[in-house]
Chain A
């Protein structure tokens, strides 16, 4: 937690409520990141208290707890990257730093009194649907329990993805992933290799460049980098947001609307992104005078195909004399010698893998088993799919938050979480109303939904932009992103359409 030392998030309260596990709950939530605490708060707000949140770590915050690497910042504006029901007038920057976002998650948890419902240090190891009792049987690192409904809020960016590099075990120095930053490692004067040039890497590189002796960046594919319009939020603005909450809401609405307008470029008319591309190219040309380096940093695909990155200090850091960009991936390691895919070699003392996360395979799916004893991962194969991003045929009473095809390239994922929570709360209300034991997704409804998603995916920049991104799976399908606006997703998840479900009545054994 050294990353957060001296910041307001220095001590988000840790495992002080590792209370006993209940034997049975109405709802069990996996994970206490943004989607998990969002789920808990919405349950509390609706008057439901028969639930528990299982969190393997000892603090809330999920991705924003784990990613403490130097320079970690959200690339969605602060006033958009917060829950609609918990506005924060005190954001200090228009793009929040990780400690502040983590502190926000912690504060919101206490604001609604959610902490007593969280069991920290409790990792879900297996969840099996018992069709006899119509309940989920959960096995955790701290004992077993049952639940009527399971909400999987394990998050898409929770399990680091590490490439399998031959010879890595022979490397004598420190090796770590950006999301598991080793704060004891002193990089001062060291030869540091950063593998990857994605959203984490472009924040890490400028943060560690002044300290490192030599910095080598292994780049498989250059990213599109746009200027970041970050500034301090002034005290009068904060005062206004606090005193007249409507003003913050207006700012949020404005940000939301401008982001929504970009959806059409990503989804329907990638040609419209050419304007943004020109801005990014000018940004590159202004920051990197050396034509050779400029060429190495110029992407060959359409902007938006991979995540668009925002940074003002990434390019300048790359021009420093102690920094080198290798326009090839890391191929193998032999002792402290790193060989790139182009055959060239460099020596390093420390390797930082900024190589992202297991996004397309949702690791929690390997722990969730249907009544037929197959895991969700097996059912999916390489291709995850769900009805309205939330429910899966054969897995009754399971709601996935940030499930298949719910990611966004243009807007705040918190909107998606809140939309899915509307849906999940309505799902629970439908169970109550019907007095039913469970709802099981009709396979044909799921199929229809997925077909429609794929049909709209065809025209998106992610499919047509000419790149291979973490959004795509081995089959070349995009199971991660939502091909549309947030508004469309909200409309699609406002209510559960019972025609899309088989109702499993209570008391059938």
Chain B
């Protein structure tokens, strides 16, 4: 249940013992909890894994008109921490794309920051997303293409009837060149399942998002991960975020991997989260 009374779908995996370190997974735009499936499988044996659907995504309630805002992203993360962690409990937060932006936005709130032991920011950025995306070839350099990227981001055009057309296009925009066909299929299915009005509403939020202040406040160990072939949040974003972070725990740039790092390189994502959890364990 969120601040404004919506119901979010929250899943909890692995041991439920309060002594076990907790990890909260926050998916990105147009995705949902199943997006994290390979990562959850890699973590649930010895970590408590919590994953939720952002409002308007997956099985969470759709947002009310005007309910899609950066503040709402932070509200929802705060609500999930309130209702899943034991009193005084801490967690590692791992956010992909817009999920990472949720963490950066929520870092301005002490109630979130004080319960965070470490953060993984995967394939995300803090500002100027359209201006630097490469979803359209040379999209960052030619003004008309910037406009096209804006349209792609905010359009409510349906995807599903044109699956044969959109699937390779989605693959081009979101995945690395060597992503296997299964990954491409899963990726397309997850994105196609997203409600197109929610997609457009959140696309508008992303178009103008700036959570840079939160990056500077995020004073916990943060590992930044990006694929070198990411067209939506290319490595310039990761490098900029890494530069601004007070406690960079490492910057990983996976060669040939696209935007969907948790789907394309789940083993790396799992290892980075484990490392953050282990670090939190020793310093506590």
Chain A residues with CB under 8 Å of chain B are 20, 44-50, 110-114, 116-117
Residues of B within 8 A of A45 (CB): 251-255
Candidate in B250, B254, B272, B275 with the most chain A CB atoms within 10 angstroms: B250
Offer 17 A-B interface pairs, CB within 8 angstroms, sorted by A. A44-B252, A45-B252, A45-B253, A46-B254, A47-B252, A47-B271, A48-B271, A49-B223, A49-B250, A49-B271, A49-B275, A110-B248, A113-B223, A113-B250, A114-B250, A116-B221, A116-B250
CB distance from B12 to the nearest CB of A (A): 26
Residues of B within 8 A of A46 (CB): 252, 254-255
> Bound state CA distance, A114 and B271, in angstroms?
17
Residues of B within 8 A of A112 (CB): 242, 248, 250-251
* Interface pair B282/A20, CB less than 8 Å apart: yes
Task: Give B272's nearest chain A residue, CB to CB.
Answer: A49
Residues of B within 8 A of A49 (CB): 223, 250, 271-272, 275
Given the interface contacts A113-B224, A116-B221, A116-B249, does A47 sit within 8 Å of B254 by beta carbon? yes
Chain A interface SS verdict (over half):
loop
Whether B265 is near chain A, meaning CB under 8 Å from some CB there, is yes
Whether B243 is near chain A, meaning CB under 8 Å from some CB there, is yes
* Interface pair B275/A47, CB less than 8 Å apart: no
CB distance from B219 to the nearest CB of A (A): 14
Per-residue A-contact encoding for B244-284, CB less than 8 Å = 1, 0 else: 01001111111100000000010110011001000000100
Candidate in B239, B253, B255 with the most chain A CB atoms within 10 angstroms: B253
> Bound state CA distance, A49 and B269, in angstroms?
11
Task: Give A115's nearest chain B residue, CB to CB.
Answer: B248
* Interface pair A117/B251, CB less than 8 Å apart: no
* Interface pair A111/B221, CB less than 8 Å apart: no
* Interface pair A47/B242, CB less than 8 Å apart: no
* Interface pair B242/A113, CB less than 8 Å apart: yes
Closest 7 CB pairs of A and B: A113-B248, A47-B268, A113-B250, A49-B275, A112-B251, A44-B250, A45-B253
Residues of A within 8 A of B224 (CB): 113
Chain B residues with CB under 8 Å of chain A are 221, 223-225, 239, 242-243, 245, 248-255, 265, 267-268, 271-272, 275, 282
> Bound state CA distance, A49 and B250, in angstroms?
8
Candidate in A46, A49, A110 with the most chain B CB atoms within 10 angstroms: A49
Residues of B within 8 A of A48 (CB): 271
* Interface pair A50/B282, CB less than 8 Å apart: no
Given the interface contacts A47-B268, A47-B272, A111-B242, does A117 sit within 8 Å of B252 by beta carbon? no
> Bound state CA distance, A47 and B272, in angstroms?
7
> Bound state CA distance, A112 and B238, in angstroms?
10
Task: Give B225's nearest chain A residue, CB to CB.
Answer: A47
> Bound state CA distance, A44 and B272, in angstroms?
10
* Interface pair A113/B249, CB less than 8 Å apart: yes
* Interface pair A111/B251, CB less than 8 Å apart: yes
Task: Give A113's nearest chain B residue, CB to CB.
Answer: B248
CB distance from A425 to the nearest CB of B (A): 10
Candidate in A20, A47, A48, A116 with the most chain B CB atoms within 10 angstroms: A47
Task: Give A85's nearest chain B residue, CB to CB.
Answer: B253
Task: Give B270's nearest chain A residue, CB to CB.
Answer: A47
Given the interface contacts A111-B243, A113-B224, A113-B242, does A47 sit within 8 Å of B251 by beta carbon? no
CB distance from A41 to the nearest CB of B (A): 8
Residues of A within 8 A of B272 (CB): 47, 49
Given the interface contacts A112-B250, A114-B250, A116-B221, does A47 sit within 8 Å of B239 by beta carbon? no
Residues of A within 8 A of B275 (CB): 49-50
Residues of A within 8 A of B282 (CB): 20
Task: Give A432's nearest chain B residue, CB to CB.
Answer: B267
CB distance from B268 to the nearest CB of A (A): 3
> Bound state CA distance, A76 and B248, in angstroms?
31
> Bound state CA distance, A110 and B246, in angstroms?
11
Residues of A within 8 A of B267 (CB): 47
Given the interface contacts A47-B225, A49-B271, does A113 sit within 8 Å of B254 by beta carbon? no
Q: A111-B239, A114-B250 are in contact. List 19 more A-B contacts (CB 8 A).
A: A44-B252, A45-B254, A45-B255, A47-B225, A47-B252, A47-B254, A47-B268, A47-B271, A48-B271, A49-B250, A49-B272, A50-B275, A110-B248, A111-B243, A113-B224, A113-B242, A113-B249, A113-B250, A116-B249
CB distance from A156 to the nearest CB of B (A): 28
Task: Give A41's nearest chain B residue, CB to CB.
Answer: B251
Residues of A within 8 A of B248 (CB): 110, 112-113
CB distance from B65 to the nearest CB of A (A): 41
Residues of B within 8 A of A50 (CB): 271, 275
Task: Give A114's nearest chain B residue, CB to CB.
Answer: B250
